[in-house]
Amino acid sequence: MGAMKIVSIKDIAGQCGVSIATVSKALNNHTDISEATRKRVCSTAKKMGYLPNSQARALKTNKTFNIGVLFVDKAGKGFTHSYFAPVLNGFKVEAEKMGYDVTFISRHIGKNAMSYYEHCKYRRVDGIMVACMDFYDSEVIELLNGDIPLVAVDFESERHYSVTSDNSIGMQTLVKYVSSKGHRKIACIYGDSSQITSIRLNAFLDTMKEEGLPVIPDYIRQGKYHDAESSRSLVREMLSFSEPPTCILMPDDFSAMVAKGTIEEMGLKVPNDVSITGYDGIYISEVMQPPLTTIRQNTVGIGRKAAEILVKLMKKQEIFTESKKIIIEGKFIEGGTVKDLNI
């Protein structure tokens, strides 16, 4: 199979029987040619498979139509990350729908080391979406303080727009549901230190207080997101207490599934002996038996909204939101991993 022929404006001019200048004017929506000619040229260009040269377009508009994405996660899951993968995919699909390419930003170009900000400048990105676990990394802070239009996922900033789930409401909902089922000895294993983790932990503590439930220090422990080893170790430790918790709130669905396996390894059953909840609402949590009690985050919606807001920022269009923190609502999934102790 031969190489695909690249269609030029000269080819379009020949097909339409007009000058190269007329084709250029038609493709760039100039008003000094007739509407009929413009439509005929554009229709012919589309049929012939014409694609404008990206470098020429960049020179003309001073824009590259290229968006940078910075994604770094401590779990090392990359594009298999059960939470961030659909966020990134939602962002990519929406950005491409609006005519933008996506470039992933790193600390290297080949063998040359550079900062995230330097990489963005090297690639001449028009804007950047940041989705990472550590927003306090010095190079991430350099990006946040830079001059490139930016939208963050799961990080609230006074200067930048952010898109996130309502993590406070999500945690409140879980605690109130578990409390309504008669549980008083409720444990919380929270994830890596981050703004989102702090929001969830504070919501847990506040809601426990509102519900009149005892907050037991040994029941509140820091683990890691999407980490089997820490989840397994902490669940075993808690269930070895003389008075173990009746329900354990895990930091995410993956950790909750590890917790279920650990509980069963100890000869116990979920939820008959120990209840658990997750967070995220990933697909596998729906098909496990029993289905997991969790909060399903609208991950694709988060990605799409981030792309929409970023493109508006790059185009300097007005954004009609009450604040720079944009909430994408999640959904409570009752599942079957919390036992009703009222019965």
CATH number where 42 lies: 1.10.260.40
What is the pLDDT tens value at each position of the chain, 343 positions in all? 445 567 888 899 999 999 988 988 888 788 889 999 999 999 998 898 887 665 555 545 567 789 999 998 766 666 778 889 999 999 999 999 998 999 999 888 777 889 999 999 988 999 999 997 788 889 999 999 999 999 999 998 888 999 999 999 999 999 999 999 999 999 999 999 999 999 999 999 999 999 999 999 999 999 999 999 999 999 999 999 999 999 999 999 999 999 999 999 999 999 999 999 999 999 899 999 999 999 999 999 999 999 999 999 999 998 888 789 999 999 999 999 999 999 8
Residues 283 and 184 in one domain: yes
Residue 228 located in a structural domain: yes
Residue 124 located in a structural domain: yes
Residues 81 and 192 in one domain: no
Residue 156 located in a structural domain: yes
Q: What is the largest CA-CA distance in the chain?
A: 89
Residues sharing a CB contact under 8 Å with residue 279, sequence separation 6 or more, in sequence order? 170, 174, 200, 250, 251, 252, 253, 256, 294, 295, 297
Rounded to two decimals, the pTM is: 0.80
Residues 233 and 308 in one domain: no
Q: Is 26 exposed, middle or buried (0-12, 13-18, 19+ CB in 10 A)?
A: buried
CATH code, domain carrying 173: 3.40.50.2300
Residues 34 and 16 in one domain: yes
pLDDT attached to residue 61: 53
Question: How many separate domains does the chain show?
Answer: 3
Residue with tokens 């509407």: 35
Residues 89 and 136 in one domain: yes
Task: Compute, in degrees rounded to 10, the torsion defined by CA atoms 301, 307, 308, 309.
Answer: 110
Residues 158 and 305 in one domain: yes
Residues 175 and 31 in one domain: no
Structure tokens at 279: 């967070």
With the C-alpha atoms ordered 168, 195, 150, 159, is the resulting torsion angle positive or negative?
Answer: positive
Exposure letters 229-238 (e unless 16+ CB within 10 A, then b):
ebbbebbeeb
Residues 152 and 192 in one domain: no
Residue 171 located in a structural domain: yes
pLDDT attached to residue 321: 83
Structure tokens at 90: 């939602």
Residues 238 and 269 in one domain: yes
Residues 190 and 278 in one domain: yes
Residue 3 located in a structural domain: no
Residue 75 located in a structural domain: yes
Residues 177 and 290 in one domain: yes
Residues 15 and 108 in one domain: no
Structural domain that includes position 254: 167-297
Distance CA 22, CA 4 (A): 25
Residue 343 located in a structural domain: no
Residue 332 located in a structural domain: no
pLDDT attached to residue 2: 47
